[in-house]
Structure 1
């Protein structure tokens, strides 16, 4: 910062700082509104697919039927990854953090891409299509490798969501399972200037390559303050155990001013609209599969949190219910954050492409608060 800056001029966490324009995502946290290209997230979830959302974010427009079919065909054609990469993933330590493994694998994936160093708009787009397609293959391979299983080859006859579940489990999902997972991907595809998207843009602003931008984003998402909240929610549910213990558990947490996982959001001071969509699906799956314990616990937690904290703008967020949806699909909780990345790759790529079309190197200032008027002291004279 300049010499005239004062400590109260610092925007901690860059909160409230506007550094660019975007046509992708709008969020009104006070009203609980989230839109992509001006279209409410609820409509995307109800009527669209992850393939279409990905196209819309990359092109900033809805596709025609022909454009969507071509884009879908490109995704299906680019699902395979190099055999050498799969062999390397299979050799990762079984104790590796899945996000560590994903970060490493995507970095290596760039080594196999002859176009990886090309930072032109056209190359960034082509790489984005490949990354969206291949993220699912890499994540499924990581999950199977760390579990001691061989990778399952992708199938071009399945949708993006169905193909991932097939590669993850080795079994073709039902139409309902595939659609449920597709909706979860749609809800997580982009969310404005979150930490990982900002990190990708910061890297892109140096005119670095697309793979470096995405690996940077993965590193940011790995942090528990960004990704991983839905995994923590599942840990909380397991700790509570049964619905009859939920009220006492949450009341004690609130009385002791302890954090409730999946509750509260930096942006939203109302219900996260994505959580409303997932709540309905979580309820449906719980009743259909006879797995009502998790949902009943969450329902109790939500009621108490809203009663006691709603007036302060603290409500359940998207992570509150997403974990139960993933768990009901047979996905282990340690892979919830990689699946977050599986969805957010579209938003990361779209944001990098959008920002670098009118690029400016990101170079913020910091207010110096250290010592002044000091002089070097010879090593022999130091105490």
Structure 2
């Protein structure tokens, strides 16, 4: 007997694939909880190392402190830099997004060292080296004593970052560290459920992240803002785009039915960077007009601002090239991927969903 699924069910909407202590998304209430804390409070009171410790402790029942994670990530960045010639050799003439995938696939276990730190520590080293290679520059060696956010910026730009820059990127890393059973995290958990190692699981997670419906969305936000160009063009440009059925980049979400809670966290982080090229008043006017236009178009279920809108503005203000947005997203999400993969290995079983066959049956 064939069982036909609804359109929603074919996307696994509402289907619970795992029990987790790592994060919870409530789309109706616009709520994101990471490791037992609301994302807004977590971004205001913690740092990337702190939230990573919470995620890893929840996944593996360890008792790592923020200082433990900071030390292990600093050491892992140094080890990754020592292996950089080998890792970059696999990237050939690839661009930043594809080169990052190839280099990540070359990571391997280090004797006696936690896979989680090896992976999360290597990601900003690889991203920084690829960005600088694209600019015709040599990679910058990491500073193991620096925070993950500060060292990420340092390896990207070849200079010591300002405190406000570090604060802004750290808020982004915390906010993007985990987000429930999103496509890339689910991919990582599926691979981990086979008892493949964390390196395979995270490589698969990154591949899922590169899709335009997942991690590839921030860059088009900037392209939209570029196309609008000036305040006087906001209304006519948006009205014409909606009349032609075009999608407003940075609005709407598969899960959230109200405003994405991460949007306001990042908007707050951007305010301190407004003098560094982030035209927040202009972006704010664009956001406000698009929200009102979408409410007029669909008053019963208007699309709200999502995290991609302010992610694009924040990363652009930090002078991170658009081609590196997806790898920098991965720098943050690697904390969640490693935690979910480890939790799946520890508590889950092989993920093997069924399907609804709608093809032809044998004649006999």
Relative to structure 1, the CA distance from residue 172 to residue 303 in structure 2 (aligned partners, 3 Å threshold; closer, same or farther) is farther
Select which of 348, 358, 362 maps to 1:359. 348
**How far has the Cα of 1:152 moved from its partner?**
0.4
**1:357 is paired with a residue of what secondary structure?**
helix
Select which of 71, 77, 80 maps to 1:79. 77
Q: What's 1:326 paired with?
A: 315
Q: Is the 8 A contact 2:90 2:106 kept in 1?
A: no
Q: What's 1:89 paired with?
A: 88
The answer to whether 1:11 aligns with 2:4 is no
**How far has the Cα of 1:82 moved from its partner?**
5.3
The answer to whether 1:251 aligns with 2:249 is no
Backbone CA RMSD of aligned residues: 2.5
Give the whole-Å Cα distance in 1 for the aligned partners of 2:236 and 2:218: 21
Structure 1 unaligned blocks of 5 or more: 116-122, 376-383
Deviations 1:82-121 (A, max 9, x none): 5453355268444x232211111011122xx345xxxxxx
Q: What's 2:328 paired with?
A: 339
Give the whole-Å Cα distance in 1 for the aligned partners of 2:92 and 2:106: 16
Q: Bigger CA drift: 220-229 or 11-20?
A: 11-20
Q: Is the 8 A contact 1:26 1:192 kept in 2?
A: yes
**How far has the Cα of 1:71 moved from its partner?**
2.2
The answer to whether 1:140 aligns with 2:128 is yes
Select which of 227, 239, 254 maps to 1:266. 254
Q: Which runs of 4+ in 1 moved over 6 A?
A: 63-66
Select which of 198, 208, 224 maps to 2:196. 208
Q: What's 1:50 paired with?
A: 48
Select which of 264, 273, 279 maps to 1:291. 279
Relative to structure 1, the CA distance from residue 190 to residue 7 in structure 2 (aligned partners, 3 Å threshold; closer, same or farther) is closer
Q: Bigger CA drift: 197-206 or 97-106?
A: 97-106
Q: Is the 8 A contact 1:92 1:146 kept in 2?
A: no
Q: What's 1:380 paired with?
A: none
Q: Is the 8 A contact 1:93 1:146 kept in 2?
A: no
Deviations 1:54-91 (A, max 9, x none): 00011129x99982222211111221215453355268
Q: What's 1:153 paired with?
A: 141
Q: TM-score, normalised by structure 1?
A: 0.87
**2:185 is paired with a residue of what secondary structure?**
helix
Query: Which protein is bigger by CA-based radius of gyration?
Result: 1
The answer to whether 1:41 aligns with 2:29 is no
The answer to whether 1:232 aligns with 2:215 is no
**How far has the Cα of 1:308 moved from its partner?**
4.2
The answer to whether 1:171 aligns with 2:159 is yes
Q: Is the 8 A contact 2:55 2:335 kept in 1?
A: yes
Q: Is the 8 A contact 1:190 1:346 kept in 2?
A: yes
**2:24 is paired with a residue of what secondary structure?**
strand
Structure 2 unaligned blocks of 5 or more: none
Q: Is the 8 A contact 2:164 2:272 kept in 1?
A: no
Select which of 254, 261, 278 maps to 2:266. 278
Deviations 1:186-243 (A, max 9, x none): 1100000000000001111111111110110010001111111111101111111112
Relative to structure 1, the CA distance from residue 267 to residue 324 in structure 2 (aligned partners, 3 Å threshold; closer, same or farther) is same
